[in-house]
Structure 1
Amino acid sequence: MSDITHLQYPIGKASIPTEISEEKLQEWITTLELLPVRLSTLVSDMSDEQLDTPYRDGGWTVRQLVHHISDSHHHSYIRFKWALTEDNPLIKPYLEKEWAELDDAKYAPIEWSLKHIEVVHFKLVRLLKGMTNAQFERTFRHPEGKSTISLRQNVGQYAWHSNHHYAHIENLVKRENAGS
């Protein structure tokens, strides 16, 4: 793996299987449950200068990453609700790169998004823990890849997404500490 690829995908690209065991599903739910505390602990002592440092050349800053996680996981929660209440709904994607360039993502205090992540994950995990196997097999359609995604797969996607962006920040912290 090249250095740039490793910086972009520190845990590798998402690879969500179509057959997902109950054990794997529970592991992913635990990842989602633990993210708010893990992320908050990782970034809570960062200065504004550190928060405004890109995790790689040409990448988002830590601040933008935190706000992006909040935005993205909010969307995910809504997608779960749509798929649970509608028959294979077509979801609306959003332009995440453009959202990351908006004022709130570039300059707002991360505490806003950390609190939002805490609340959204609390609600999401509560929802997931109450779902039946049949509910996990419900689907939504994503227009960008013209793909149909089961809610079981979506849990895996967002567990990966949690670890993916956590690793971006964690690796930056490790590189900064190694250079000190």
Structure 2
Amino acid sequence: MDPLRYPIGRFVPVGLLSGEARMNGMDELLDITRHLKRLTEPLNPEQLLTPYREAGWSIQQVVHHMADNDMNAYIRFKRALTEDVPIASSYREDLWAELEDYRRAEVNDSITLLAILHKRFYVLVSSLSDEDFSRMLRTEVLGKITLDTALQRFIWHNKHHTAQIEALLHRKGCCDCFPVLQLR
């Protein structure tokens, strides 16, 4: 496994979570946007264009991807609450990362979007019963999964990408002093 690409490891569901474990995960999710803001705020525009690994996305692309992914995941989650085993739509994240909004939109806009979305998701998750978390959806990558697994994946995905940014900044020594790498 590539530690630059997967600094916290690949996603592995842990089975059915307790209500307390779910809410602890959601509390962590709320902290992620504050942490992302602390990581990215000191960076200049050139540093935001630094890829987290060779041939990888820039910090800016990663943050915008996180917002896009979470909007999609939130909708898939709500569909699974209101439909019988819906098929979760996928999207070409590689092509989305090349669109103009990934180049021109402010990173802080996506962090703000994440913060608001995570608050909404927190309200939703805190209202659900254990039975609700056993509802299913079908994905291309994971197949048929419960909402419990979908929630775990949602939280993992945010930690995964935040860790990629954090690892880059750590490898470079600090936020203020790393040289800008050229995008390929």
- Tell me the TM-score normalized by structure 1: 0.91
Instruction: Report the AA paired with residue 128 of structure 1.
Output: V
Provide the identity percentage: 35
1:166 aligns with 2:162: yes
1:53 aligns with 2:17: no
How far is 1:26 from its partner? 2.7
Distance 1:170 1:146, change over 3 A: closer
SS of alignment partner, residue 4 of structure 2: helix
Partner of 1:154: 150
Runs (4+) of structure 1 exceeding 4 A deviation are none
Instruction: Report the AA paired with residue 158 of structure 1.
Output: F
Instruction: Report the AA paired with residue 112 of structure 1.
Output: D
Q: Is the 8 A contact 2:61 2:102 kept in 1?
A: yes
Larger mean Cα displacement after TM superposition, 5-14 or 144-153: 144-153
Partner of 2:118: 121
Q: How many angstroms apart in 1 are the aligned matches of 2:100 and 2:66?
A: 16
Instruction: Report the AA paired with residue 93 of structure 1.
Output: S
Q: How many angstroms apart in 1 are the aligned matches of 2:141 and 2:7?
A: 23
Distance 1:146 1:6, change over 3 A: closer
**Alpha carbon RMSD of aligned pairs, Å?**
1.6
Instruction: Report the AA paired with residue 72 of structure 1.
Output: N
How far is 1:18 from its partner? 3.0
Q: How many angstroms apart in 2 are the aligned matches of 1:42 and 1:32?
A: 15
- Tell me the TM-score normalized by structure 2: 0.89
Aligned residues: 176
The unaligned stretches of length 5 or more in structure 2 are: 179-184
The unaligned stretches of length 5 or more in structure 1 are: none
Q: Is the 8 A contact 2:19 2:130 kept in 1?
A: no
Instruction: Report the AA paired with residue 45 of structure 1.
Output: P
Larger mean Cα displacement after TM superposition, 68-77 or 107-116: 107-116
Q: Which has the higher helix share?
A: 1
